[in-house]
Chain A
């Protein structure tokens, strides 16, 4: 089946630092979504991207839909403790049913 390659797998950063993570795929997607998941909870939608090249912000979060439609990145500026969690990218389309998820980036913030 399709796979999304999400990197890095984990990040250890200091509070206040900026964060960058990305997803790549061998398939073209029509929509890219970024979710955050806390332990024992369902994923929460952060940003949705619908057009190649689109750059969208949500507070301190910024995400972009790659021009080739095969990649996306998520940036978090000035990280705070509540940013801790697992971030997932997900693609819609590419011949698959439903969303195709990456394996997640585990963000850990050191005080």
Chain B
């Protein structure tokens, strides 16, 4: 079975500071990896995904994540955060060939002025 661990339930950071949200996964088979963002009282929006190829993937709003197979990690980073980045971030994995997503417990990013 697959599992996803997001150790940080909440990450407070000041505006324009860098941030890293950690995600580790466990799987005995190859997986696809995803980061979703959820704003208050809304559904989830896909932020970025790793399916294959380059291990560094980027989103259109400045986030990036790097797939590290040896460390089974897919940490999310942004060099300079904005107030509007305040949201809940979920890491998820999916076994290749299957459709079920397994989510982590989420990390709340709190950006203050």
Task: Please say whether chains A and B are actual partners in one complex.
Answer: no
